[in-house]
Amino acid sequence: MSVDWEDLKTILYVVREGRLTRAAAALGINYTTVARRIARAEARLNMRLFERLKDGYHPTAIAKLVAEHVSRMEMEEHGLMRALSRKDDTLSGPLVITAPQLLIQTHIVHVIDVFCTAYPEVELEVNAANDLLDLTRRQADLAIRISNNPGDDLKGLRLTTQHTASFASPALARQINDTPGDPIDWIIYTNAAGLPRKIDKRYPRSRIKARFDDMVSMIGAAQAGLGVVRMPVFLGRATAGLEQVPLLPPQPYADIWVVAHRDVWPSARVRAFRDCLVSYFRQHRACFTA
């Protein structure tokens, strides 16, 4: 009795993700391929792995047992590939990086331009993810993270400290300057407790105009003049249609780091991209701090 490794991984991902569609997305294949692999594995094993119910595939005890073992096998596979990456001194082939979307848009694109010009044989893939990808499972080779704790089990280098400040449209900025006693509208995150700290003491007529769950939407609201937004200075200064307003002093914000798994950190492609990052942030540190 033998089962193809890709079929075994598919069983693991269906158990792990809970749905065929999510397993397919995680594996980078389509829904029908996932179903076909499951059926093939069941035929090879002559065992029922999933109950086909109206709300999806439900793993049997056998599937959970298979997933438990395959998970350990997958970690060994990742460990082997990371170990091979450590020995890879070639400046060609694939390199996957991940970073927050807005940081890519405003700054990392310039690093990418320099890197791709210097190393044209590297096949660079950029994942604009605000969620943290798992570097142990090789979802990316290198990550740029905004965090005070970028990953205890990773190798990292702080690229820069940074600050936040208040930004508004030019018209609203003039209004705040010309009529400081008027109410000040704020745009804040959905999960924020309330107005920025100490603003009520400085500007007691401050009020929340609207809450948003996404910084891109908040930027759009600020550009339209709906209110003031507190954001990292690198973002506010790089965004057309916004001006910094001195409602509160700039405040420290989470640092920007470059991180990778310890096994992958010394590899040539990771090292080359990291060097480009370090050089860029050293030259542009003033963009991130007040």
CB-CB contact of 106 with 219 (8 Å):
no
What was the pLDDT predicted at 82? 61
pLDDT-derived band at 90 (thresholds 50, 70, 90) equals confident
Q: Render pLDDT for 129-173 as a digit per residue (tens, 0 to 9).
A: 777 777 777 788 999 999 887 766 788 999 999 999 999 999 999
Longest dimension (CA), the chain: 80
β partners of residue 266: none
Fold of 5-86: Arc Repressor Mutant, subunit A (1.10.10)
Predicted structure pTM score: 0.72
Identify which of 152, 149, 127 has the alpha carbon closest to the alpha carbon of residue 138: 127
Report domain extents, the chain: 5-86, 91-290
Q: What is the pLDDT of residue 87?
A: 65
Average pLDDT, the chain: 89
Give 46-89 pLDDT, tens digit per residue.
989 999 888 788 999 999 998 888 888 887 776 776 666 666 67
CB within 8 Å of 228: residues ≥ 6 apart: 166, 167, 168, 172, 176, 184, 185, 186, 187, 222, 245, 247
- What are the helix and strand counts (H, E) for the chain? 11, 11
244-264 pLDDT, tens digit each: 998 888 999 999 999 998 888
CATH second-level architecture of 91-290?
3-Layer(aba) Sandwich (3.40)
Q: How confident is the model at residue 33 (pLDDT cuts 50, 70, 90)?
A: very high
pLDDT at 88: 67
Q: Provide, rounded to the nearest whole percent, the portion of the chain with pLDDT above 70.
A: 95
Cβ contact 239:165 at 8 Å:
no
The strand ranges marked E within 148-200 are 154-168, 184-189
CA 138-20-69 angle, to 5 degrees, is: 55
| Equal fold, 5-86 vs 91-290 | no
- The single residue listed with the structure tokens 């009529």 is 179
